C-alpha cells in the first residue's frame, strides 16, 4: 500500500542507527554521550571566555563565539535523538519530526559554513588590509554578516524541506542512517526523484560551494600577501593566526563534500555514516580544543574565566 505525503504526517520512519548489535549499541551510547557532553562543555566555555574578556571582543572572536553556539545547537539536533534510539527498540521518528530534524540540521550546518567563510574574510582583511580593518570589520558589518548567514541558511533549509515534503513514500520506511538526512530519505521515496536530485545537487552547490570558494579565495590572497613579507618571523606570525581556522575548515568541508557531492547511485550507507559522524559529532567537539590549544589569547581568556569561577 502506498503512503502518500499528505498521509505520512500520521505515520513515520524507523531510524536504523549506527548498529543493530545490542552490546555495541550500549558502547556507542556511552561514547557518544561523553562526546556530546564534551562538545557542550567545551563550546560553552569558549562562549563564556569570549564574553567575559574584553580583549576578545574582536570580529574574529565574535564569529568564533557564534560558531560555538551554532555547534551546540547543531549537535543537539542530532545527538540526543541518536542516544535515545541507541537504547530504544522502536527507533521511530514521526514524519513531522523527521522533516523538522532535517530542517534544523541543514539550517545550522549551512550557518556553520557561512560563519567559517566570515572568519576567513576576517583573516583576509586583517592580513592583507590591516589599516582598514576597523572600518571593514566594524561591529555593524559583522552583525550583518551573521544575520545574512542565518537568513540564507534557513531559506535553503526551508526550500529543501518543502521539496522533500512533496515526495511519496512506499512500503519501506526504514531510514538507513542515524538521523533524517536528505540522501537516505530520498532513497525511500517511490516518487520519481531524478528532478529532486538535480534540484538538490544544484541548490547544494550554490549554497555550500559559495562559502567554500570564498574561503579558498581568501586564503589564496592571504598566501600571496604573506609570501611577500621579507622576514621568516613575519610570515610565521601571519600564518599562525590562520592555522586553527584552516584545520576546522578541512575537517568540516572534507566530510561534507564526501557525503553530499555525489549522485544518489554512489550512496554508501557505512561510509556515509562514518563521514557524517565526523562533521556532526567529532568536528563540533574538537573545535574548542583546536581554537584554544594554539591560541594564546584564547588560553588567557580561559584562564581568566577559571580564576573568576574559583573566586
Report yes or no on 1 lying in a domain: no
Contacts of 25 by beta carbon, 8 Å cutoff, 6+ apart: 17, 18, 19, 86, 87
Torsion sign, CA atoms 62, 68, 71, 76: negative
Contact, 65 vs 47, CB < 8 A? yes
Position 291 scores a pLDDT of 85
Q: Can you give the residue range of the structural domain that contains 198?
A: 18-310
Contact, 188 vs 204, CB < 8 A? no
Report yes or no on 56 lying in a domain: yes
Provide the phi-psi class of 230: left if phi over 0, else alpha when psi is between -120 and 50, else beta: alpha
Contact, 244 vs 286, CB < 8 A? no
Report yes or no on 51 lying in a domain: yes
Report yes or no on 211 lying in a domain: yes
Position 10 scores a pLDDT of 42
Q: Measured between alpha carbons, how far is 308 from 211 in angstroms, rounded to an integer?
A: 37
Position 64 scores a pLDDT of 94
Number of domains in the chain: 1
* Tens place of pLDDT per residue across the chain (311 aa): 333 444 444 478 888 888 878 888 899 999 999 999 999 999 999 999 999 888 899 999 999 999 999 999 999 999 999 999 998 888 888 989 999 999 999 999 999 999 999 999 999 999 988 889 999 999 999 999 999 999 999 998 998 888 888 877 776 788 888 899 887 887 787 776 676 677 777 777 777 788 999 999 999 999 898 888 787 777 777 777 788 888 888 888 887 777 766 655 565 666 777 888 888 899 999 999 888 877 788 888 888 888 888 77
Backbone angles phi, psi at 296, to 5 degrees: -65, -40
Position 142 scores a pLDDT of 96
Q: In 282-310, which positions are buried (b, 16+ CB within 10 angstroms) versus exposed (e)?
A: ebbbbbbebbbeebebbeebbeebeeeee
Helix (H, G, I), strand (E, B) or coil at 243: helix
Report yes or no on 271 lying in a domain: yes
Report yes or no on 8 lying in a domain: no
Residues facing residue 15 across a β-bridge: 175
Give, as one character, the DSSP assignment of residue 52. H
Report yes or no on 13 lying in a domain: no
Report yes or no on 10 lying in a domain: no
CATH of residue 132? 1.20.1070.10
Bridge-based pairing of strands 174-175 and 12-15 is: parallel
Position 303 scores a pLDDT of 86
Amino acid at each position: 500500500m502506498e503512503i502518500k505525503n499528505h498521509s505520512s504526517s500520521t505515520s513515520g520512519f524507523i531510524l536504523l542507527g549506527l548498529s543493530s548489535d545490542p552490546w555495541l549499541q550500549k558502547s556507542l551510547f556511552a561514547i557518544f554521550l561523553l562526546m556530546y557532553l564534551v562538545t557542550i562543555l567545551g563550546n560553552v566555555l569558549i562562549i563564556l571566555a569570549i564574553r567575559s574578556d574584553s580583549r576578545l571582543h574582536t570580529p574574529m572572536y565574535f564569529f568564533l563565539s557564534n560558531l560555538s553556539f551554532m555547534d551546540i545547537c547543531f549537535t543537539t539536533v542530532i545527538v540526543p535523538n541518536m542516544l535515545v534510539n541507541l537504547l530504544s527498540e522502536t527507533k521511530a521518528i514521526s514524519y513531522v519530526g523527521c522533516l523538522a530534524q532535517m530542517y534544523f540540521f541543514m539550517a545550522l550546518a549551512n550557518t556553520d559554513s557561512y560563519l567559517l567563510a566570515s572568519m576567513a574574510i576576517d583573516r583576509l582583511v586583517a592580513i592583507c588590509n590591516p589599516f582598514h580593518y576597523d572600518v571593514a570589520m566594524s561591529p555593524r558589518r559583522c552583525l550583518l554578516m551573521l544575520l545574512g548567514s542565518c537568513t540564507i541558511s534557513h531559506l535553503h533549509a526551508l526550500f529543501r524541506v518543502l521539496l522533500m515534503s512533496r515526495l511519496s513514500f512506499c512500503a519501506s520506511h526504514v531510514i538507513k542512517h542515524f538521523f533524517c538526512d536528505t540522501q537516505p530519505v530520498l532513497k525511500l521515496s517511490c516518487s520519481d526523484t531524478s528532478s529532486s536530485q538535480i534540484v538538490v545537487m544544484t541548490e547544494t552547490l550554490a549554497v555550500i560551494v559559495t562559502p567554500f570558494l570564498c574561503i579558498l579565495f581568501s586564503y589564496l590572497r592571504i598566501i600571496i600577501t604573506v609570501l611577500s613579507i621579507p622576514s621568516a618571523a613575519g610570515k610565521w606570525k601571519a600564518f599562525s593566526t590562520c592555522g586553527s581556522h584552516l584545520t576546522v575548515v578541512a575537517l568540516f568541508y572534507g566530510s561534507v563534500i564526501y557525503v553530499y557531492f555525489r549522485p544518489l547511485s554512489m550512496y554508501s550507507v557505512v561510509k556515509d555514516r562514518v563521514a557524517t559522524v565526523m562533521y556532526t559529532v567529532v568536528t563540533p567537539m574538537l573545535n574548542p580544543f583546536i581554537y584554544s590549544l594554539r591560541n594564546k589569547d584564547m588560553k588567557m581568556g580561559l584562564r581568566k574565566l577559571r580564576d573568576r569561577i574559583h573566586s
